[in-house]
Structure 1
Amino acid sequence: MEYEISDFTDIPYDLLELWLLDKAVVFLNHGSYGACPKPVLLVQEKLRSQMEKEPLRFFGREWEPLSDNARAELATFVNADIEDLVFVPNATTGVNSVLRSLHFAPDDEILTTNHEYNACRNVLDFVADRSGARVVVAKVPFPLESPQQVFTAIIEHVSAKTRLALLDHVTSQTALIFPIQELVQELQARGIDTLIDGAHAPGMIPLNLREIGATYYTGNCHKWLCAPKGAAFLYVCQERQLEIRPLTISHGANSLRTDKTRFRLEFDWTGTDDPTAYICVPEAIAFMGSLLSGGWTELMQRNHSLVLAARQLLCEAWGVEPPCPEEMIGTMAVIPAPTTLEGRDFLSVHDELFDKFGIQVQVVPWCESPRLLIRISAQIYNRLEQYKYLAKALKELSKS
């Protein structure tokens, strides 16, 4: 499909005014930490004032109904039962909560891939070292031609000892959408539980946790949902909820309340913290869904189309081939860096792009050729002209 710059000039550029982002920076890395719009931050500021004005009243009376409402709104957005969701600060905490609650035997195998996010891979290694279990890494090729290659690579590494599979829904390094529903169904048919790291998925692609059917699923709300930093969720199927405990054991462990499950009581209160990021999730969902007449469906489709257009532009400018089919891309895409940059350190390339050109973009080291990847993001405040500027900047950088 061919794209033109005019395809993405229908929205006023001053939409950027809705964010605090530095206008002197060409921000093409929404995927790393997200960016929270001003109206949502304003709601958070009011909630914090409410909390600090009368802390005992806030935590004793006001916080829990607000949090429960936020969980209900989020459950609707990701198509899950409210009883199966709890808030956590980030997806890495969600992964830790599951892996550190489970008990593995020395003969057990935990399956993951070579695309797994480094922080979560570290959790796997930590748990395996303590228990004697073995981490099995399925090598998913990259570049690749189809989702079937992901499916095949993972299933080929399943054995009679496989206890759990930790898989990304959207990979961080390579920005690939894995065929998660198909993988979950196949693994569960073999009696293997699944922990899905969906850090990037909420707000990037439509989510239906009921249909996916994973045993455990965790996702961030501060990335593509644009909630404040420190808002994420953990989903646990009902059959496993008694096994999964928060990283901090607190009052919920021996609460006498019977109006909520032990799972929710424990995760809801792990000690005094600022819960306003969680409470703002409905505001973020509503705000981002109001920016286009077609709501979230149009927003996700527009960002998807923009990132595909940008990928096409950059591939043509640098003379490289797209490393994966369009169907495996959400609102991030990875492009091999120009071959003239082969051998350059990824941090130095990132810093030069920022310091010399004012471009904030993710530069990713990869374990095989191509060794250097450029990961771009597309959010509604981005324009195709910004990616043209990136194309020129990297070409100029290649000459130095």
Structure 2
Amino acid sequence: MMNFKPHASYFQRYWLLDRNINFLNHASFGACPRPVLEVQAKLRSQLENEPLRFFGREWEPLLDDSRNKLACFLGVEPQDLVFVPNATTGVNAVLRSLKFSPNDELLTTSHEYNACRNALDFVASCAGAKVIVADVPFPIESSEQVIKAVIEKVSPKTRLALLDHITSQTGLIFPIQQLVKELQARGVDVLVDGAHAPGMLSLNLSEIGATYYTGNCHKWLCAPKGAAFLYVKRSKQSQIRPLTISHGANSKLTHKSLYQLEFDWMGTDDPTAYMCVGESIQFMGSLLDGGWNELMQRNHDLVMQGRQIICEMLNMAPPCPEEMIGSMSTLTVPKILEKYTYTSLHDELFDKYGIEVQVVPWHGESKLLFRISAQIYNSIEQYNSLGKTLQEIVKNLT
């Protein structure tokens, strides 16, 4: 058994990550840096020091300040954004606000995240509507295959399309701006599940033009857990209600839209994750001289190097072109490793070798996939270690 524990990068000092684990799965839940967690701890102390003053006087300015910084980062107006705990909540809020009929078709793809696909199925079943699935291949040769697969499934009955910006299982960047343009030209609104996009890609939601867009802040923005956003076009905001109806529903306040008044207050909880989003944007953007652009490019370059190393070690072809990859890459496993289940392969890598990667089941020709991520705390040695470990496991099975 290998005992080599590769060093992470210089930047790991800013994270609480276990130094005994080769952590190559930032994509699943993110990881929040120490300076941001320290800001959150101060905010929590501020809340508990005088809860009435905090929620009565301090809460809204802190929330709005963070929202303003996020809006600037995303290329939208602050009044079009609300905070939600995660992207799945954002998807649910939109789907459960809209009214569908038995004649309606709701379009998605075979790569849609399971939680959001469940929400789509639930809403469709309640209304008697039909979910239509565009089968996007994996491995895949080009973005054009995504566009072709989706557009071929559009019909006069298509009311809404739920599409990933970056797919979770397969790690593909979908050509979302072109998809939105094509679908809207056919009278179809688009709800984008952008869970992985903020902080992995340079985003301008105004240019993308989707009617609805939700994304996580706890992943690639590295905010605390429980921070995400929902963007809704101004013309549609009156139709979208939060999952929890609370005081905002009959508020007499006029300084904000009903959309923000309802989403901003849904009951007493800990809002400090939202309030740290601006801090996360500032901190992560300060780590390299080139700011966020250099950080995103560095993470992309690192995951591409890691992909190349592993493909060469396991004699595999890359399953997609480089332009469809951001800061995470999914690979098929060698056929001999399909003796494992996705849980047993993950557990062996973690328990025996101290390596954390995402292993997922798949419905295509390859039954198992594994996904690597690259964040600034990772190093090239960590991917070398993963490749050597996979080589050892394959050798032990032959």
Same fold per superposition (TM over 0.5): yes
Match of 2:313 among 281, 303, 317: 317
> How far apart are 1:388 and its partner, in Å?
0.8
Alignment partner, residue 303 of structure 1: 299
Aligned pairs for 1:232-311 within 5 A: 232-311=228-307
Give yes or no for contact 2:86–2:227 (8 Å, CA) kept in 1: yes
Alignment partner, residue 96 of structure 2: 100
Alignment partner, residue 157 of structure 2: 161
Alignment partner, residue 380 of structure 2: 384
Alpha carbons of 1:369 and 1:41: their partners in 2 closer, same or farther (altered >3 Å)?
Answer: same
Give yes or no for contact 1:338–1:395 (8 Å, CA) kept in 2: no
Which structure is higher in RCO with an 8 Å CA cutoff and minimum separation 6?
A: 2
Give yes or no for contact 2:8–2:379 (8 Å, CA) kept in 1: no
Match of 1:132 among 115, 121, 128: 128
Match of 2:31 among 31, 35, 51: 35
Alignment partner, residue 58 of structure 1: 54
> How far apart are 1:368 and its partner, in Å?
1.2
SS in 2 for 1:100: helix
Aligned pairs for 1:132-211 within 5 A: 132-211=128-207
Aligned pairs for 1:206-225 within 5 A: 206-225=202-221
1:396 maps to a residue whose letter is: E
Q: How many residues align?
A: 391
Give yes or no for contact 2:346–2:358 (8 Å, CA) kept in 1: yes
2:155 maps to a residue whose letter is: S
Alpha-carbon separation, structure 2, partners of 1:369 and 1:40: 42
> How far apart are 1:369 and its partner, in Å?
1.4
Alpha-carbon separation, structure 2, partners of 1:112 and 1:219: 17
1:107 maps to a residue whose letter is: N
> How far apart are 1:372 and its partner, in Å?
1.3
SS in 1 for 2:238: coil
Give yes or no for contact 1:146–1:325 (8 Å, CA) kept in 2: yes
After superposition, what is the alpha-carbon deviation per residue over 1:69-119, rounded to whole angstroms, capped at 9, x for unaligned? 110000000101111100000000000000000000000000000000000
Provide the identity percentage. 68
SS in 1 for 2:171: coil
Q: TM-score, normalised by structure 2?
A: 0.97
Alpha-carbon separation, structure 2, partners of 1:279 and 1:248: 20
2:223 maps to a residue whose letter is: A
Alpha-carbon separation, structure 1, partners of 2:97 and 2:147: 27
Alpha-carbon separation, structure 2, partners of 1:251 and 1:163: 31
1:140 maps to a residue whose letter is: V
Q: Does 1:114 align with 2:99?
A: no
> How far apart are 1:12 and its partner, in Å?
8.6
Q: Does 1:90 align with 2:83?
A: no
What stretches of structure 1 move > 6 A for 4+ residues in a row? none
After superposition, what is the alpha-carbon deviation per residue over 1:103-138, rounded to whole angstroms, capped at 9, x for unaligned? 000000000000000000000111011000000000
Alpha-carbon separation, structure 2, partners of 1:117 and 1:374: 15
Alignment partner, residue 3 of structure 2: none
Alignment partner, residue 328 of structure 1: 324
Alpha-carbon separation, structure 2, partners of 1:344 and 1:220: 31
Alpha-carbon separation, structure 2, partners of 1:389 and 1:339: 21
Alpha-carbon separation, structure 1, partners of 2:213 and 2:318: 30
Q: TM-score, normalised by structure 1?
A: 0.97
SS in 2 for 1:242: helix
After superposition, what is the alpha-carbon deviation per residue over 1:292-319, rounded to whole angstroms, capped at 9, x for unaligned? 0000000000000000111011111111
Give yes or no for contact 2:8–2:378 (8 Å, CA) kept in 1: no
1:303 maps to a residue whose letter is: N
Alpha-carbon separation, structure 1, partners of 2:9 and 2:327: 19
After superposition, what is the alpha-carbon deviation per residue over 1:38-70, rounded to whole angstroms, capped at 9, x for unaligned? 000000000000000000000000000000011
Alignment partner, residue 41 of structure 2: 45
After superposition, what is the alpha-carbon deviation per residue over 1:328-374, rounded to whole angstroms, capped at 9, x for unaligned? 00000011112221232111000000000000000111101121111
1:376 maps to a residue whose letter is: I
Alignment partner, residue 5 of structure 1: none
After superposition, what is the alpha-carbon deviation per residue over 1:185-209, rounded to whole angstroms, capped at 9, x for unaligned? 0100111000000000000000000
Alpha-carbon separation, structure 1, partners of 2:376 and 2:335: 30
1:52 maps to a residue whose letter is: E
Give yes or no for contact 1:335–1:375 (8 Å, CA) kept in 2: yes
CA RMSD of aligned residues (A): 1.2
Q: Does 1:395 align with 2:391?
A: yes
> How far apart are 1:222 and its partner, in Å?
0.1
SS in 2 for 1:342: helix
Q: Does 1:364 align with 2:364?
A: no
Instruction: Specify every segment of 5 or more residues in structure 1 that has no aligned partner in the other structure, as ranges.
Output: 1-10
Alpha-carbon separation, structure 2, partners of 1:62 and 1:280: 14
Alpha-carbon separation, structure 2, partners of 1:244 and 1:87: 14
1:235 maps to a residue whose letter is: Y
